[in-house]
Amino acid sequence: MSIFDRLWGGGRKPAAQPPATAPAALSVEGPESSGTVERRHRPRKDARKGIKALIIDDSPTVVAALRKVLRSAGYNTLEALSAEQGLALIEQDPPDLVFLDIILPGMNGFNALRLIRKNPASQHIPVIMISGNEHATEQFYANRIGADDFMKKPFSRFEIFARIESLLDAGMMPRRRTATETVSQTAPAPLAP
pLDDT tens digits for range 38-94:
555 666 566 667 899 999 999 999 999 999 999 999 999 999 999 999 999 999 999
Return per-residue pLDDT of the chain as tens, 193 residues: 554 444 445 445 444 544 444 444 333 343 444 444 455 566 656 666 789 999 999 999 999 999 999 999 999 999 999 999 999 999 999 999 999 999 999 999 999 999 999 999 999 999 999 998 877 677 777 778 889 999 999 999 999 999 999 898 877 788 887 654 444 444 444 444 4
Query: Phi first, then psi: what are they for 115, rounded to 5°?
Result: -70, -40
Q: What does the domain layout of the chain look like in residue ranges?
A: 47-175
128/97 Cα distance (integer angstroms): 8
> CB burial class (10 A; 0-12, 13-18, 19+) of residue 129?
buried
Pairing verdict, β 127-131 and 76-80: unpaired
The pLDDT of residue 95 is 97
Is 3.40.50.2300 the CATH number for 47-175? yes
The pLDDT of residue 41 is 61
83/106 Cα distance (integer angstroms): 8
